[in-house]
Amino acid sequence: MTSTTSFAISPFPSDPPRRMMEAKEAPRLPDGRLNLDKPRWDQSSYWGRAKHFFYSTNPLNLFCSPAKLDWAKDVVNKYK
């Protein structure tokens, strides 16, 4: 007889509930610009933190020069 390990609740569900995958409007400042200091998704849940991480992380930045990264940082700081 073989034993298999199974989880009643998968630690990594492959199909999260539809409400977790819906796009949420980004928080705005009173003048209508995007508020870059507030996350778009709820940070108290796993899916909210995961979506925030994947939305704000770009692996292509590994191939950018330090000068280009500094330029991008300046653009964001001027927007704020």
Specify if 59 maps to a domain: yes
9-51 residue pLDDT tens: 555 555 555 555 555 677 788 888 878 888 888 888 898 888 8
Q: State how many domains the chain has.
A: 1
**Model's pTM, two decimal places?**
0.50
Q: Decide: 48 and 42 in contact? Cβ < 8 Å.
A: yes
- pLDDT for residue 65: 94
Give Cα 19 to chain centroid, integer Å: 16
Residue 4 lies in a domain: no
Q: Is 4 helix (H, G, I), strand (E, B) or coil?
A: coil
Give a yes or no: residue 25 inside a domain: no
55-78 residue pLDDT tens: 888 888 889 999 999 999 999 899
Residue 29 lies in a domain: no
- The parent domain of residue 65 ranges over 39-80
